[in-house]
């Protein structure tokens, strides 16, 4: 059996990014095919409960959650040091939600805007015309489906199934993500807990751990650690042993997933091609969350793709503004944060305790700013305070020589990387030079 379809664009992946982009492109009147390999209701079910910052609903023009999709709303949270009980308030509201229902809602918006969603349909390969994408091939059970479209979008999540199958000549990075390039996120759903067990939103940035609301009176004890699932699991056990030894609880379920923890490909576009969301490694470096940071790119992509389709010009040059707009703003901030965090993760525990106590890392201000703006603006006052804390830490021996030097180097390198991304070239002809410099800054050459 086979079927042939034709549209203006085909999006591979009906998760949060694909469904959001499909919705926006449907609203603009384009014929959208959204291809999703799972059944309706399945996407997001391996995660269950997740979080979105309150301010993002207005930013991305999405109605607030209601009913079963809404688990809780928390106006504040707490950030905890590596050791001790001096938590700091994080005054930044989050919605706690059910992911499969949220995705179904977005898919519903997309379908009502005219997008056709093909569930249980798996991308199997690209159709090429004169070397550039002209659609996709997919399989639904025994049926072979051919979808022709002048624009193909990869929103297939961490494996980026379309990006990795592009011909080299299109100039995209096509290497698959490596096993060491993920944060391995483990969620333990606990209930039957004592009333004094932490409730609400609790962040343990040193351990990359969190305790967040679960179902009913329950909680989610979570962790996201790079490198390996086993490492994440061991660190979670150590963390629980240190913080909550012998705590009585009932394990309702344990689940895990992967979220990208590496820089995005240097370009998000090629002739007739765009990549967004986890497929383009757009997760927030400080938390691994990627739903709304993916929307940032989708919002830009929708504008650019709309203009390109109207012009009937889907060339790399025409799609290039997605790179410029994404990388000069959110992309630049994430690059700077990633460079900083890679070093912060190596700091000795005693150093982090000291820096936390002096508000140099993970202060209430930092966490609020980081969540809201993805960067921490340092006015002269704060810069002076930070410098004084670093110096007095070094002089008093509370901050190790290695920690001190690593921090200064990280701040310098992060600043340079962010600035480099802020100068992402308008002209694709300048891209090779820009890429060469970027590789040096990332230590890839």
Ligand X SMILES: Cc1cc2nc3c(=O)[nH]c(=O)nc-3n(C[C@H](O)[C@H](O)[C@H](O)COP(=O)(O)OP(=O)(O)OC[C@H]3O[C@@H](n4cnc5c(N)ncnc54)[C@H](O)[C@@H]3O)c2cc1C
Provide the minimum distance between the beta carbon of 147 and ligand X in the complex, in angstroms, as a whole number: 12
| Residue 220: C-alpha distances to residues 50, 76, 313 (Å) | 10, 17, 48
Cβ nearer to ligand X, comparing 51 with 263: 51
In whole angstroms, give the CA distance from residue 30 to residue 435: 33
Long-range contacts of 140-146 (CB under 8 A, 24+ apart): 142/1, 143/1, 143/2, 143/3, 144/1, 144/2, 144/3, 145/2, 145/3, 145/4, 145/5, 145/118, 145/121, 146/2, 146/3, 146/4, 146/5
Q: Is 210 helix (H, G, I), strand (E, B) or coil?
A: strand
Q: Which distant-in-sequence residues (6+ apart) come within 8 Å of 415 by Cβ?
A: 336
In the window 226-255, what residues touch ligand X (CB under 6 A)?
none
Provide the minimum distance between the beta carbon of 56 and ligand X in the complex, in angstroms, as a whole number: 9
CB 90 within 8 A of CB 75: no
Q: Which helix or strand (DSSP H or E) is residue 294 part of?
A: helix 291-311
Cβ nearer to ligand X, comparing 185 with 355: 185
Provide the minimum distance between the beta carbon of 352 and ligand X in the complex, in angstroms, as a whole number: 24
Strands (E), 9-57: 9-12, 32-35, 49-53
Provide the minimum distance between the beta carbon of 109 and ligand X in the complex, in angstroms, as a whole number: 14
DSSP state letters, 389-406: HHHHHHHHTSS-HHHHHH
CB-side neighbour CA atoms (13 Å) of 223: 20
In whole angstroms, give the CA distance from residue 234 to residue 249: 19
Cβ nearer to ligand X, comparing 333 with 420: 333
Which of 101, 155, 193, 300: binder of ligand X (CB under 6 A)?
A: 155
Q: Helix 401-422 and helix 380-396: axis angle, to 10°?
A: 150
User: Which x/- pattern, by CB under 6 A, does the window 295-324 give for ligand X?
Assistant: ------------------------------
Residue 13 within binding range of ligand X, rule CB under 6 A: yes
User: Which x/- pattern, by CB under 6 A, does the window 261-290 give for ligand X?
Assistant: ----------------xxx---x-----xx
In the window 17-46, what residues touch ligand X (CB under 6 A)?
17-18, 35-38, 43
Question: Which one of 26-34, 168-176, 291-299, 323-331 is the stretch in contact with ligand X (CB under 6 A)?
Answer: 291-299
Beginning with the edge strand found earlier in the chain, give each strand of the sheet holding 9-12 in spatial order.
Answer: 116-118, 32-35, 9-12, 151-154, 273-275, 269-270
Provide the minimum distance between the beta carbon of 49 and ligand X in the complex, in angstroms, as a whole number: 8
Question: Which one of 10-18, 304-312, 396-404, 429-437 is the stretch in contact with ligand X (CB under 6 A)?
Answer: 10-18
Provide the minimum distance between the beta carbon of 96 and ligand X in the complex, in angstroms, as a whole number: 8
| Residue 167: C-alpha distances to residues 128, 184, 371, 433 (Å) | 9, 30, 37, 22
Cβ nearer to ligand X, comparing 288 with 393: 288
Which of 16, 267, 363, 364: binder of ligand X (CB under 6 A)?
A: 16
Cβ nearer to ligand X, comparing 5 with 47: 47
Which of 24, 28, 30, 51: binder of ligand X (CB under 6 A)?
A: 51
Q: How many residues bind ligand X (CB under 6 A)?
A: 35
Provide the minimum distance between the beta carbon of 156 and ligand X in the complex, in angstroms, as a whole number: 4
Residue 157 within binding range of ligand X, rule CB under 6 A: yes
Residues that bind ligand X (CB under 6 A): 12-18, 35-38, 43, 47, 50-51, 122-123, 155-157, 161, 185, 187, 257-259, 277-279, 283, 289-292, 294
């Amino acid at each position: 059996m086979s079927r042939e379809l034709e549209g203006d664009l085909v999006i591979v992946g009906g998760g949060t990014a694909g469904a959001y982009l499909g919705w926006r492109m449907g609203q603009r009147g384009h014929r959208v095919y959204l291809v999703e390999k799972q059944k309706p209701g399945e996407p997001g079910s391996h995660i269950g409960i997740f979080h979105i910052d309150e301010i993002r609903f207005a930013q991305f023009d999405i109605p607030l959650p209601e009913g079963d999709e809404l688990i809780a709303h928390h106006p504040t949270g707490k950030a905890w040091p590596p050791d001790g009980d001096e938590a700091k308030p994080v005054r930044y509201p989050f919605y706690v939600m059910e992911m499969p229902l949220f995705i179904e809602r977005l898919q519903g918006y997309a379908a009502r805007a005219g997008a056709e969603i093909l569930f249980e349909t798996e991308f199997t390969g690209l159709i090429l015309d004169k070397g550039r994408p002209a659609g996709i091939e997919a399989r639904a059970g025994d049926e072979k489906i051919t979808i022709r479209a002048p624009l193909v979008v990869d929103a297939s999540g961490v494996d980026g199934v379309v990006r990795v199958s592009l011909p080299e000549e299109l100039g995209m990075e096509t290497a698959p993500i490596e096993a060491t390039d993920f944060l391995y996120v483990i969620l333990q759903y606990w209930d039957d807990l004592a009333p004094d067990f932490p409730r609400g939103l609790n962040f343990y940035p040193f351990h990359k751990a969190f305790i967040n609301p679960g179902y009913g009176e329950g909680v989610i004890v979570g962790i996201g650690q790079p490198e390996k699932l086993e490492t994440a699991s061991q660190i979670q056990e150590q963390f629980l042993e240190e913080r909550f030894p012998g705590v009585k609880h009932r394990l309702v379920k344990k689940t895990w997933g992967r979220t990208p923890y590496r820089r995005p490909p240097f370009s998000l576009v090629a002739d007739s091609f765009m990549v967004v969301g986890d497929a383009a490694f757009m997760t927030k470096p400080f938390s691994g969350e990627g739903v709304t940071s993916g929307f940032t790119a989708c919002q830009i992509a929708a504008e650019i793709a709309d203009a390109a389709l109207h012009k009937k010009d889907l060339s790399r040059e025409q799609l290039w503004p997605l790179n410029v707009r994404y990388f000069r703003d959110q992309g630049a901030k994430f690059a700077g944060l990633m460079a900083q965090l890679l070093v912060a993760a190596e700091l000795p525990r005693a150093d982090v305790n000291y820096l936390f106590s002096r508000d140099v890392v993970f202060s209430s201000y930092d966490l609020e700013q980081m969540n809201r703006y993805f960067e921490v603006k340092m006015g002269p006052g704060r810069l002076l305070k930070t410098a004084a804390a670093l110096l007095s830490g070094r002089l008093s021996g509370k901050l190790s020589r290695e920690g001190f030097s690593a921090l200064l180097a990280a701040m310098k390198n992060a600043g340079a990387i962010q600035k480099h991304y802020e100068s992402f070239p308008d002209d694709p002809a300048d891209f090779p030079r820009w890429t060469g410099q970027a590789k040096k800054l990332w230590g890839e050459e």
